[in-house]
Amino acid sequence: MEQVVRAVISSSMGYKWALDQFQVPLTILESYVRKKRAAPDYAVVKSLGKFISVFSKKQEKELVAYLHKMEVHRFGLTIKELRTLAFQLAERNNFFYSFKDEAAV
């Protein structure tokens, strides 16, 4: 997205061509271009919806490694057990999370 905005600002790519090539809605592209022109140091950051990640990438990899280890030892976890495990991990480390407290049950 950052490359598309830079290309539109530098006039090497027009709005219509950018819309066709990258399937970006016009209003969103215009908004990003407007913000970038107003503040050149503005960075386009795309997130996946309104949710934020509770764990860092490293912590997620450690959790996945633990799950694989448990699977190798023939102790697979259900989805509910995995959710409970993630909830307990967030609680013990005092992470900000948006889980419902019923997730621990």
pLDDT tens string 6-42: 888 888 788 888 888 888 888 888 888 888 888 877 7
Residue 100 binned pLDDT confidence (cut-offs 50, 70, 90): low
Please tell me whether residues 61 and 100 are part of one structural domain. Answer: yes
Q: Are residues 64 and 100 in the same domain?
A: yes
Query: Which residue segment(s) compose the domain that 69 sits in?
Result: 57-104
Whether residue 44 is contained in a domain is answered as no
- Residues 95 and 61 both lie in one domain: yes
Task: Count up the domains in the chain and report the number.
Answer: 2
Confidence of residue 47 (pLDDT cuts 50, 70, 90): low
60-72 as b/e, with b when 16 or more CB fall inside 10 Å? eeeeeeeeeeeee
pLDDT of residue 61: 92
CB-based contacts of 53: which residues, under 8 Å, 6+ apart? 60
pLDDT value at 65 more than 90: yes
Q: Is the pLDDT at 105 greater than 60, yes or no? A: no
Give me the pLDDT at residue 41, please. Answer: 79
